[in-house]
Structure 1
Amino acid sequence: MNVADLGLPVDVPSTALFTDHYELTMLQAALRGGTADRHSVFEVFTRRLPEGRRYGVVAGTGRVLDAVENFRFDTGVLDFLRERDVVDEPTLQWLADYRFSGDIWGYPEGEVYFPGSPVLRVEGSFAECVLLETVILSILNHDSAIAAAASRMSSAAGDRPLIEMGARRTHELAAVAASRAAYVGGFATTSDLAAGFRYGIPTVGTSAHAFTLIHDTERDAFRAQVDSLGKGTTLLVDTYDVQEAVKMAVEIAGPELGAVRIDSGDLLLVAHRVRQQLDELGAENTKIVVTSDLDEYAIASLAASPVDAYGVGTQLVTGSGHPTCSMVYKLVARAESADPKAPLVPVAKKSAGGKTSIGGRKWAARRPDADGVAEAEVVGTGAVPEELADRQLLVELVKGGEVVAREPLDAVRERHIAARDGLPLSATQLSRGEPVIPTEYV
């Protein structure tokens, strides 16, 4: 695995600086104070779902594993920290040998989660675990937000495929991560070639309005595209007059025309008119693709229309109004001393303002009802009830610093579909509501 696989510029040597200044100053103080080697347990969770959402989607786990592996303080990074006087020399010497050697457990990527779900658990010395807080949260908060929006959109789309096409609406590196998260959430393809290269996601694309406008006539543009890409291509028909463009497209490509794309106007009305026109022209198999600032609500509104696929950009890569999941990384248990045999003590923040947390290393299980449908997310710190023993959600991801749970992205995507299907039917409703199942603490 190299840095390019993470979606980083090739001149970035590691992920170690994808962190906050205070992570390193905490480390320095812990090293001086004698608490750095205390065994610690950190957990990632969210206290609430974004307003109106019924469930969350765990995404970015694979990228987290890559980031942990590449969390190295090489000479260039150490020189930067030294020049800025971020930490002292003994701390720099400690960082020079940093390799995460602990254990990480978590919900498998693609799984759904709810308030309080311990979606990731990081164990090791305080020093090695605290450094990973920012990069882990950065990845999980972004990717899970995109995957949740994608899941809602794919549920609204039903069997119709979704194309991710939001690269131009976000940061160039975030676009690659967003494409991956969208694929986890149910999208079929992406327009982003970097995402295709790094993650094997199928890529698609044909032409934009500029291609039509650079030609003297729309007919010339269609002819050039069909000659180059074949009759199965998708022609963009809303540059000038949609009705004339559709007629022209079929004249040029014949009934073998692959698809037409509509990017403006009243999509419901235009799609019905275009479908009727295509059928009358003998192009019954030509598909209709719609784009134009779609979100899950717009997609749902087109359910009764003769649309065959949707292209989604801005709303997807911004989480459809919720660009983060508000996940936090909290210390929930720590050893009484640096002695490897010292017992763990639960710890938790108890301040006011809705930011309290529950101490102790946690397990989680999803309890089904008599019909096998999920009815509760059960989270506990003691023994796992016998009836939930085979329903536990956390799996081992890293053991002794070594990644043990890499898996193909297609497997993650399939897991999400199965997890979503295991929730009550109301989970897929787009109307605002509470989490579809409650979180119970035992």
Structure 2
Amino acid sequence: MNSADLGRRVGVPSTALFTDQYELTMVQAALKAGTADRRSVFEAFTRRLPEGRRYGVVAGTGRVLDAVENFHFDDEMLAFLRDQNVVDAPTLDYLADFRFSGDIWGYPEGEVYFPGSPILRAEGSFAECVLLETVILSILNHDSAIAAAASRMSSAAGGRGLIEMGARRTHELSAVASARAAYIGGFDTTSDLAAGFRYNIPTVGTSAHAFTLLHDSERDAFRAQVDSLGRDTTLLVDTYDVTAAVRTAVEVAGTELGAVRIDSGDLLLVAHRVRQQLDELGATDTKIVVTSDLDEYAIASLAAAPVDAYGVGTQLVTGSGQPTCSMVYKLVARATSADPADPLRPVAKKSLGAKTSIGGRKWAARRLDEDGVAEAEVIGTGPVPPELAGRQLLVELVRGGEVVAREPLDAARERHIAARAGLPMSAMQLSRGEPVLPTEYV
């Protein structure tokens, strides 16, 4: 296996301060009370899917593993915490030696999930598990939202190519994470070179309108691009007049022209006209790429258009209107000591409204109907029913503080394709609806 397939992790800084202050102050108080080492179980889950969504997509697991592996406090961080009086001296001593030594289980990356699904479970001492809360949630909430949007767009595209190109529409670091999540959700390539470098995602890109405007004529711009990048390049044809540009593009590149890109106008109408013109000019193999503020609904509306690939930016990196999954990370069980023999006791928040949770260390399985199609997400805290034993969803990710489940990004991408294919057909509907699978507690 090529190590680049797993993502380049060299030079990754500590993630220990990607957290909220109250994580550290809870540790301080628990250390003083003598409860910090109590064996504990935390679970990440969501009480509901984003409004109207029919399924969620687990993404960010690989980044969570990186974050756990790199969660340590260096001298400069400890000095900051000391100077700002964030925690006391005994807590600083504890943090100075901190490394997560517990276990983590979770849904494998690319899997789908539903309300209540125990997407990730961390087990260890209270102190070490609670310290990971914020960084785990920030990664899973962001990446899973992007992957869900990407999955919807991939479904709408119906097998046509998808290019992630949202780097200029979000924070530079979230752009890289977005490209990764989009690839898991079904996108084929990215324009972001940092994502290509870090995660080995295929990268693409040719030119923008500025390149055409730089030259004295559109023909000069096309000639410069073809001379440099070859006849199979993609020429942007809507800077001035699309019809004239397509004609010029074929004259310059010949019928071997790779593709033309359309970035404005009535994309359905223009795509049909451009396809007809290309065919009449003999460029029957030249592909058409469309961009311009696309989302899953716009992509679906172009299903009848002769489009070969879609480039998506803003709507993708903002989760197509749902930029977070509202996942939470809750203590669901704890013992009265660090002794592994000490039984775990279920605990749960019991508050007014919708913010209640269900206690107990959980398993999850997906029940299938007689045709092999998923029909329910089954979650329990007791013995797993024999008929579901082979359908359990959680896999071991970290054992005794050591990551045991790294995998190529393509494995998560392929897993998502299979998981989505196993859902009822109504999961692919873009109209608003309830989760396609009910969650059953046993």
TM-score greater than 0.5 by the shorter chain: yes
SS in 2 for 1:124: strand
How far apart, CA to CA, are the structure 2 residues paired with 1:5 and 1:350?
43
How far apart, CA to CA, are the structure 1 residues paired with 2:78 and 2:347?
32
Q: Does residue 380 of the first structure (1) align with residue 380 of the second (2)?
A: yes
Task: Please state how far the C-alpha of 1:336 moved relative to its aligned partner.
Answer: 2.4
**Match in the other structure for 2:182:** 182
Deviation digits for residues 271-319 of structure 1, max 9, x if unmatched? Answer: 0000000000000000000000000000000000000000000000000
**Match in the other structure for 1:258:** 258
Code of the aligned partner of 1:347: V
Deviation digits for residues 8-56 of structure 1, max 9, x if unmatched? Answer: xx6x740000000000000000000011000000000000000000000
Q: Does residue 428 of the first structure (1) align with residue 397 of the second (2)?
A: no
**Match in the other structure for 1:139:** 139
Deviation digits for residues 340-390 of structure 1, max 9, x if unmatched? Answer: 422110000000120000000000000000000000000000000000000
Matched-pair contact (CA < 8 Å) for 1:30–1:36 = yes
Code of the aligned partner of 2:286: T
Code of the aligned partner of 1:260: V
Which one is further off, 256-265 or 333-342? 333-342
SS in 2 for 1:256: coil
How far apart, CA to CA, are the structure 1 residues paired with 2:425 and 2:314?
28
How far apart, CA to CA, are the structure 1 residues paired with 2:9 and 2:33?
35
Deviation digits for residues 402-431 of structure 1, max 9, x if unmatched? Answer: 000000000110000000000000000001
Q: What TM-score results when the alignment is normalised by the length of structure 2? A: 0.98
Code of the aligned partner of 1:166: G
Equivalence map 1:66-145=2 (5 Å): 66-145=66-145
Matched-pair contact (CA < 8 Å) for 1:6–1:63 = no
SS in 1 for 2:235: strand
SS in 1 for 2:122: strand
**Match in the other structure for 2:61:** 61
How far apart, CA to CA, are the structure 2 residues paired with 1:76 and 1:167?
31
Task: Please state how far the C-alpha of 1:6 moved relative to its aligned partner.
Answer: 6.0
How far apart, CA to CA, are the structure 2 residues paired with 1:395 and 1:339?
24
Matched-pair contact (CA < 8 Å) for 1:148–1:319 = yes
Code of the aligned partner of 1:62: G
Gap runs ≥5 in structure 2: none
Matched-pair contact (CA < 8 Å) for 1:153–1:299 = yes
Task: Please state how far the C-alpha of 1:70 moved relative to its aligned partner.
Answer: 0.1
How far apart, CA to CA, are the structure 2 residues paired with 1:69 and 1:367?
34
**Match in the other structure for 2:198:** 198
**Match in the other structure for 1:25:** 25
How far apart, CA to CA, are the structure 2 residues paired with 1:13 and 1:75?
13
**Match in the other structure for 1:242:** 242
Q: Does residue 297 of the first structure (1) align with residue 297 of the second (2)?
A: yes
How far apart, CA to CA, are the structure 1 residues paired with 2:17 and 2:416?
31
Q: What TM-score results when the alignment is normalised by the length of structure 1? A: 0.98
* Equivalenced residues, count: 438
Matched-pair contact (CA < 8 Å) for 1:184–1:416 = yes
| Displaced runs of 4 or more, over 2 A | 4-7, 336-341
How far apart, CA to CA, are the structure 1 residues paired with 2:252 and 2:333?
69
**Match in the other structure for 1:393:** 393
How far apart, CA to CA, are the structure 2 residues paired with 1:344 and 1:413?
36
How far apart, CA to CA, are the structure 2 residues paired with 1:83 and 1:356?
38
Code of the aligned partner of 1:405: A
> Compared with structure 1, are the counterparts of its residues 205 and 146 closer, same or farther at alpha carbon in structure 2 (3 Å cutoff)?
same
SS in 1 for 2:382: coil
Code of the aligned partner of 1:250: V
Task: Please state how far the C-alpha of 1:5 moved relative to its aligned partner.
Answer: 4.5
Equivalence map 1:141-156=2 (5 Å): 141-156=141-156
Code of the aligned partner of 1:45: F
SS in 2 for 1:367: strand
How far apart, CA to CA, are the structure 2 residues paired with 1:97 and 1:434?
46
**Match in the other structure for 1:42:** 42
SS in 2 for 1:255: coil
SS in 2 for 1:365: strand
Matched-pair contact (CA < 8 Å) for 1:13–1:74 = no
SS in 2 for 1:247: helix
How far apart, CA to CA, are the structure 1 residues paired with 2:195 and 2:318?
17
Matched-pair contact (CA < 8 Å) for 1:61–1:109 = yes
Deviation digits for residues 243-294 of structure 1, max 9, x if unmatched? Answer: 0000000000010000000000000000000000000000000000000000
Task: Please state how far the C-alpha of 1:339 moved relative to its aligned partner.
Answer: 3.7
Task: Please state how far the C-alpha of 1:178 moved relative to its aligned partner.
Answer: 0.2
**Match in the other structure for 1:288:** 288
How far apart, CA to CA, are the structure 2 residues paired with 1:340 and 1:54?
39
